[in-house]
Amino acid sequence: MSSSGLAARRRGTGSGLALVVSGPSGAGKNTAIDRLLTDTPDLVYSVSHTTRPPRPGEEDGVDYHFVSTVDFDRMVAAGAFIEHVIYLGDQYGTSECEITRLAAKGFDIVLNIDTQGACELRRVGVPGTVLVFVFFAPPSLDQLGERLRARGSESEAAIAERLRVASREIEALPIFDYLVINDTIENAVRELSAIVEAERLRVLSVESNA
């Protein structure tokens, strides 16, 4: 068999690989994901919908689709989301059409969602995708607190609430396939890249294309 024939026996790109990256907000997930996307061909970001107001520098359609509660509820009623949650009082959801559109274009996808949403996706699956679950953690809750304070976008009470949520999120670790600890951003990005590369090198099973 030629080597190009053998290459077709591995998953490669465009087989619906969907990397679900979850973990406490403020752990550096967004920065690491941005770098991973810049460094990795054929990997794109699934833009979620949220009712949370944009933070300074955030762009509609790029960071999130920022929508009103009425519009979000309408989408829920129409069954538009493959998962949706309320996180600290705001609604967040992944629209099915976002995922199927990106997968149909031959892209692999990164989803940046909370652990509740990840548990839901683990339970229901997403047709046409191969879901791989990555828990993205800070080295410690103390360091997470420091990072949230350094971000300067939230009150001390909001930070305390995020830390409480974070310690609960860590309890979901057993449903994940991989654990990335953000001790330095370089290490975290390298580990995320290694996961994508390893998943793309997987041998296709005979009966499935994934």
Residues at the site binding ligand 5GP, with contacts judged by CB under 6 A: 25, 48, 52, 83, 85, 87, 92-94, 112-114, 116-117
Does residue 188 contact residue 32 with C-beta atoms inside 8 Å? yes
With H, G, I as helix, E, B as strand and everything else as coil, classify residue 86: strand
The DSSP letter of residue 202 is: P
When the beta carbons of 43 and 113 are compared against ligand 5GP, the nearer one is 113
CA distances from 165 to 100, 141, 144, 145 (A): 30, 11, 12, 12
Which residue has its beta carbon closest to ligand 5GP? 117
1: which residues sit within 8 A by CB, 6+ positions away?
none
Closer to ligand 5GP by CB, 67 or 200: give it: 67
CB of 64 to ligand 5GP, least distance (A): 7
Cβ of residue 66: shortest distance to ligand 5GP, in angstroms? 11
- Shorter beta-carbon distance to ligand 5GP: residue 114 or 191: 114
CB of 5 to ligand 5GP, least distance (A): 39
- Beta carbon nearer to ligand 5GP, 93 or 200: 93
CA distance 187 to 41: 19
Min CB(169)–ligand 5GP separation in Å: 8
Q: How far apart are CA 143 and CA 13, in angstroms?
A: 35
CB neighbourhood size of 43 (10 A): 22
Q: Which is nearer to ligand 5GP, 17 or 75 (CB)?
A: 75
Q: How far is the CB of 117 from ligand 5GP (least distance, A)?
A: 2
